[in-house]
Amino acid sequence: MTMQTHIKTFAPARPIWCAGCGDFAVQGVLEKSLHKMGIPPHKLMMLAGIGCSGTIQNNLPCYGYHALHGRVLPAAIGAKLANPDLTVIAAGGDGDGYAIGAGHLVHTFRSNPSIIYIVMNNSNYGLTKGQVSPTSPTGYRDNAESGLDSILMGLSFPSATFLARGFSGNPEQLERLMEAALDHTESKRGFAFLEVLSPCVTYYDTHREWRAKVYNIDEEEGYDPTDRGMAFQRSLKLKEQGRIPIGRIFKGEHASLESLILNKTELPPAQHKVGRDEHREQYEKFIDSYMG
């Protein structure tokens, strides 16, 4: 970390977001949490999708990657499996994650890699001027479809381990959730899914509406986030009542992908030194097995 001070690398960019955009809160909270958790910039791999939120990696000192539209999760999983010593954070918007990339979210819930996925949900396509997104409510710009609830979707996976929703208008809680997410992945417990309600002030300003609708489930007496049934029931009930639950909605236990598939007697893939013939014995075994 000390090295960063005198080595010149890219100068983190100024955010391109509109004044008042919810994404500022996400970045602020993320920077604070990374600092608090003592994660040095060179250990952080920040992958982002396409959209307004998909520029967050440019604004932080880190190893940053700008993924193809919708493909941030597979890229993040590849990076984590290749080098589990990195703190891998994927970030993107609701279009990137729930429309073009929805298939990958399903399979990331299934596989439970120890990465964080922050979805900055603004319920529209801000970067392309406000088109309907998968979380837009029925009626928004003549939207005929109903909105997708990613937390309810996540709850249906037995392998889900961390489901949370924050609100940019509640940065204190968002900070707690971000820290919990980092703690979850740093302790190798699997996939930390954090959706942040992050209003788009330019095309679909939901700030006031969401402030009225959010319901802080962390403060609900008797709510047990380890009880999947309760998490389902409360989320559905609140939805019926026109409320949006925010907080640590579900905590589960499941082996992480990297703990299941990496060969524990070997260095992780990224740490193999190319050109050092350390696996010659296996190569010879391979040849022998085809000798017949």
Q: Within 10 A of 134 (CB to CB), how many other CB atoms are there?
A: 20
Closest CA to 158 of 250, 260, 91: 250
Q: Write the CA distances from 125 to 8, 30, 136, 189, integer angstroms.
A: 35, 23, 9, 32
The token duo for 272 is 């193999």
Name the one range near other proteins by CB under 8 A: 99-107, 167-175, 199-207, 217-225.
Answer: 99-107
Q: 82 or 99: whose CB is closer to other proteins?
A: 82
Closest C-alpha to 217, from 206, 232, 201, 198 = 232
Return the number of the residue (55 or 206) whose C-beta is nearest other proteins.
55
Q: Which residue, 146 or 271, is less far from other proteins as judged by CB?
A: 271
Taking CB under 8 A as the criterion, which residues in 22-41 touch other proteins?
40-41
Smallest separation, CB 115 to other proteins (Å): 10
Q: Residue 101: which of 40, 260, 109, 258 has the closest Cα?
A: 109
Looking up tokens 């998968």 gives: 134
Transcribe 141-169 into DSSP letters. Answer: GG--SPPP-HHHHHHT-TT--EEEEEETT
| String marking each residue 106-145 x if it binds other proteins according to CB under 8 A | xx--------------------------------------
Separation of alpha carbons 38 and 60, rounded Å: 15
Exactly one of 29, 34, 77, 178 binds other proteins (CB under 8 A); which one? Answer: 77
Binding-site residue total for other proteins (CB under 8 A)? 68
Q: Least distance from C-beta 92 to other proteins, angstroms?
A: 13
Query: How many C-beta neighbours within 10 Å does residue 5 have?
Result: 6
Tokens of 265: 């007697």
Least distance from C-beta 268 to other proteins, angstroms? Answer: 7
- Of the candidate residues 32, 42, 228, 239, the single one contacting other proteins (CB under 8 A): 42
Among 47, 164, 196, 246, binds other proteins (CB under 8 A): 47
CB of 253 vs other proteins, minimal distance in Å: 23
Contact 105, 98 (CB under 8 A): yes
Residue 205 and residue 111: Cα distance in Å, rounded? 35
CB of 128 to other proteins, least distance (A): 15
Q: Does 81 bind other proteins (CB under 8 A)?
A: yes
The yes or no reply on residue 259 touching other proteins (CB under 8 A) is no
Do 157 and 110 meet the contact criterion of CB atoms below 8 Å apart? yes
> Rule CB under 8 A: which residues touch other proteins?
1, 3-4, 6-11, 13, 40-43, 45, 47, 57-58, 61-68, 70-71, 73-83, 85-86, 103-104, 106-107, 261-263, 265-270, 272-275, 279-280, 282-284, 286-287, 290-292
